[in-house]
Amino acid sequence: MEAKRPLARSLAFDWVRNAIVSGVYHGHDYIEESTVCEAVGVSRTPVREAFNQLAAEKYITLTPRHGAQVRGIGAEELIEVYEVRRLIEGRSIELLCETKIPVTDKALSALEDRLRTTTAQHESPLDPELRVTASQTDWMFHYSIVSAAGNSVLSETYEFLRSRQQRVSIETGMRFPDLIKKYDEHHVAMIEAWRSFDEVEFKRILSDHLRPAERILASLEEG
């Protein structure tokens, strides 16, 4: 007997997402409904619902008469996402340092979660769930900085970037796992700059953190 629809949709969603982040499907590949139905053991309705959710989270694009196509992450999109992040996070840093808002427990907890996850990811680099979790903890760390600044519009705008930011994080982490250590060093250094309200250093670290390496851009341009 097929699982109830919410559970069936969740199973289909997880299967497709894991297939994408583990490299079974690549950018621009098409995913057939029937393939997911057979793999997960569910009907077409929850698969279509899962496709809609995946499209909303920028994993796939739904096209008439063609179905679900895996979204490729291009160099231009990466640059644009980082550009918007620099604006939002940079202004948040200014507010934190100008008003002397101390490092929050939320930020410290987010950093611990991120470091714990990337340690596990280093031990199991092919685990797709860890890739997803690592991208989530990365977003939560940066969101903790933005939300601490107390500007609700900045926070809401940053939340809008969540799915795209995580997709970019997963893609670059898959291609260049050696950069994860460098990024986590940046995360630790950001907290130290925040503790001392050193706006110049805080923003310098952020700028370095959100500067895509040339090899990342070249790989995305190649597809």
- Among residues 180, 197, 164, the alpha carbon closest in space to that of 83 is found at 164
**pTM for the full predicted model:** 0.83
For position 223, what pLDDT does the model report?
54
List beta partners, residue 62. Answer: 68
What does the alpha-carbon distance between residue 178 and residue 169 come to, in Å, rounded to a whole number?
13
For position 66, what pLDDT does the model report?
81
Domain extents in the chain: 5-70, 75-222
For position 2, what pLDDT does the model report?
54
CB-CB neighbours of 142 under 10 Å: 24
* CATH architecture designation of domain 5-70: Orthogonal Bundle (1.10)
Cβ atoms of 103 and 195 closer than 8 Å: yes
For position 70, what pLDDT does the model report?
93
CATH number for the domain running over 75-222: 1.20.120.530
**Residue 176 burial by Cβ neighbours in a 10 Å radius (0-12, 13-18, 19+):** middle
Q: Please identify every stretch of the chain with a pLDDT value under 50, giving residue numbers as ranges.
A: 1
Amino acid at 102: P
